[in-house]
Amino acid sequence: MSKEEEEEIVFVRKSSGLIRMIGLFTVMVFGVNYTIADGIYNFTMWQTYKNPGAFYPFSLVLGAIILCFSAFSITMLTVAMPRTSSDYVAVSRVVHPFLGYMEAFMNIGCHLFIVGALSYFMTWYFGSFLIQTGLALGVSGWVEMGAWLSTNVWVGVAVGTLFCIWAGLVNLFGIGSTKWTINILFGVALIAGIVTAGAGIWGTTLSLDKVQSLWDSTYGSGAWQEIIDIAKDAGWSEYTNGGVYGWPGTWTWAATASAMVPAAYAFWGFEYGNYVAGEVSEPRKSFIWGTLGAIILILVYYLLISVPTLSAYGPFTSYYNYVMFGGHGVDNVSINPVQTPTLAVMLASLVSSVAPWAAIVITLGIFLFVLNGLPVYMIIPSRIMLSLSFDRFFPEKLSEVNEKWHTPHWAVLVSIILAVISVILTAITPWFYMVSVIFITMIRWWLGSLAALILPKSRPDLYERVDYEVGGIPLVSILGGLGVVTMGWLLYHGFLATISSPVSAWYVFAWFLGSVLFYAFYYWRNKRRGIDPKDIFGEVPPV
């Protein structure tokens, strides 16, 4: 029997049916679009409430360094095995089939939740855009509409559902459709990002009194002091342990370390082109340089918008989030519009009275950065489903690839339906969303790092494709070893955060249990059909 005939028996068919249309630039854009979204815009602000006392810019830098070890471990594995959902392929072939299956299965749930959550958040971002545009143009109706969108849960669910469907349709019409959509949206969002960074840099030249004056010019006389008074009356001092609100004020190592979990979340994804590795041309060049370009661009942008904003506003950021995000005394707000605090809101409020156009562009920017990520988030669960089903460990119907668009159409349609359910789950609490998906993704990173660490010994045939050395030690093992240690530390904190939230813990457990049951069923089913799972996981799937 020929090798091709053996592959057809072991796998669903001789080839994936996908086509290689993605190059270096799109790999970079894939990572940037995935990463720059709610993680930086939302959680930079929300950390002043969730982790008072954190030196958050430092948490961001540490989070980036830690993620680089694991992310480049997976990048090296992808170069060695350029296949769809390469982390699953690598872990299942190098470490253990079940561990690879478990992390991939759980990441279906993780990314379906991401699509749903970010689609839900789109209403907040558009609400902020309407508020700032209304203030800039003097249209009070837009301000009221923006406030309504920012606070109405079921409007968020309805709009989020529409965005889920849109992202799914972009993927349904093929990788070419996805490629051009994310590249064009990246270019538009980049322009808004440059304006946002410029506003932040300008903010560092202002005194706190000047910032207060600009805030009052935007929202009305006394708006700044209103927030401070309400926060103090509602127990801000006690909540922050006597005013330890974090950098640029007094900060603590404990809060800074705790904030590294959401900081890691803010950086995650810059290597995620690996999920479409089966559709990337010149994998070695595209993944190494595309991933490196993505992390450099992301880190520079994050520091350019987070450091100036926190520095310019000082303790006011903490007061504002205590009221607007924490909800303490928010019913007493009368001068300020009620809106979800984000970096875009803070920077737009700074420039609204002096450069209204900039405020409009800034708040539109966050909307665009999240919008350009939705097709990326949506494509991932469909490609995981394709990879699992191609190995005969998931419903084989989901491995079918449309002959016209070369996309796994059934997997995409299932992803759309499940993502809409996730929109509703996000409406319960956004923090539940973040805690759940971070922990699941940390499992992926840790196992990917472990696979990289042992690759030279476990699969020397695959290591030959990435046989770079530093001082005689395989580079892939160095990255993997550092990733195992550092991601292990973050994984521990992610576990603590998960079990502290019963809903998050149950969500994670449900997907873990699902992975056990599905793996056991398909293991038994394949054995019964005369297909040895050892043969499946002993081979890298065909292109």
pLDDT (tens digit per residue) in 196-211: 999 999 999 999 999 9
Q: What is the reported pLDDT for 508?
A: 87
| pLDDT, tens digit, 9 for 90 and up, residues 154-200 | 888 999 999 999 999 999 999 999 999 999 999 999 999 999 999 99
Average pLDDT, the chain: 91
Helix (H, G, I), strand (E, B) or coil at 280: strand
Q: At residue 315, what is the residue type?
A: P
Q: Per-residue pLDDT for 270 more than 50?
A: yes
State the virtual CA torsion across 93, 381, 393, 458 in degrees, nearest 10.
0
- Looking up tokens 């920012």, which residue turns up? 150
How far apart CA 401 and CA 378 sit, in angstroms, is: 16
Please state, as a whole number, how many other Cβ atoms lie within 10 Å of the Cβ of residue 334.
10
Local confidence band at 136 (pLDDT 50, 70, 90 cut-offs): confident
Q: What is the reported pLDDT for 521?
A: 97
SS3 assignment for 447-461? HHHHHHHHHHHHCHH
| pLDDT, tens digit, 9 for 90 and up, residues 273-290 | 999 999 999 999 999 999
Give me 520's structure tokens. 């056991």
Helix (H, G, I), strand (E, B) or coil at 18: coil
Q: Per-residue pLDDT for 2 more than 80?
A: no
Tell me the helices (H) and strands (E) count for the chain, helix number first. Answer: 26, 2
Higher pLDDT, residue 102 or 140: 102
* Percentage of the chain exceeding pLDDT 90: 68
Local confidence band at 311 (pLDDT 50, 70, 90 cut-offs): very high
Contact 33, 290 (CB under 8 A): no
How far apart CA 66 and CA 46 sit, in angstroms, is: 22
Which of left, alpha, beta for 198 (phi over 0: left; psi -120 to 50: alpha)?
Answer: alpha
The alpha helices in 352-474, defined as continuous H runs, are 356-371, 374-390, 409-428, 430-458, 460-463
First-to-last alpha carbon distance for the chain, in angstroms, is: 20
Q: What is the reported pLDDT for 525?
A: 95
Cα dist from 53 to 92, 233, 245, 297, 313, whole Å: 41, 20, 5, 28, 15
Contact 438, 258 (CB under 8 A): no
Q: What is the reported pLDDT for 426?
A: 80
Local confidence band at 1 (pLDDT 50, 70, 90 cut-offs): very low
How far apart CA 398 and CA 414 sit, in angstroms, is: 9
Cα dist from 422 to 113, 126, 150, 341, 417, whole Å: 5, 20, 19, 22, 9
SS3 helix, strand, coil % of the chain, rounded to 5? 75, 0, 20
Q: Per-residue pLDDT for 462 more than 80?
A: yes
Give me the domains of the chain, ranges plus CATH numbers.
3-36+83-243+255-537 (1.20.1740.10)
Least confident stretch, 284-293, 341-350, 383-392: 341-350
Q: What is the reported pLDDT for 532?
A: 93
Local confidence band at 26 (pLDDT 50, 70, 90 cut-offs): very high
The secondary structure of residue 22, as a DSSP letter, is B
Cα dist from 16 to 6, 255, 396, 408, whole Å: 15, 47, 12, 10
Q: What is the reported pLDDT for 435?
A: 61
| pLDDT, tens digit, 9 for 90 and up, residues 226-268 | 999 999 999 999 999 999 999 999 999 999 988 987 888 889 8
How far apart CA 525 and CA 444 sit, in angstroms, is: 26
How far apart CA 166 and CA 430 sit, in angstroms, is: 22
Q: What is the reported pLDDT for 146?
A: 86
The phi, psi pair for 474, rounded to 5°, reads: -55, 130
Q: Per-residue pLDDT for 80 more than 50?
A: yes
Local confidence band at 434 (pLDDT 50, 70, 90 cut-offs): low
Q: Per-residue pLDDT for 7 more than 70?
A: no
How far apart CA 113 and CA 93 sit, in angstroms, is: 27
Q: What is the reported pLDDT for 260?
A: 86
How far apart CA 44 and CA 317 sit, in angstroms, is: 10
Could you tell me the sign of the dihedral formed by the alpha carbons of 196, 210, 221, 338, in that order? positive
Helix (H, G, I), strand (E, B) or coil at 471: coil
- Residue 466 CA, distance from chain mean position: 27
Give me 357's structure tokens. 């156009």
The phi, psi pair for 22, rounded to 5°, reads: -105, 135
Contact 316, 203 (CB under 8 A): no
| pLDDT, tens digit, 9 for 90 and up, residues 39-67 | 898 889 999 999 999 999 999 999 899 89
Give me 312's structure tokens. 């310019």
The H or E element spanning position 306 is: helix 283-313
How far apart CA 174 and CA 176 sit, in angstroms, is: 5
- Residue 279 CA, distance from chain mean position: 21
- Looking up tokens 């958040």, which residue turns up? 121
pTM: 0.88
Please provide the size of the chain in residues: 543
Q: What value does the mean pLDDT take over residues 534-541? A: 91
- Residue 158 CA, distance from chain mean position: 22
Task: Spell out the residues 6+ positions from residue 112 whose beta carbon is closer than 8 angstroms to its own.
Answer: 381, 415, 418, 419, 421, 422
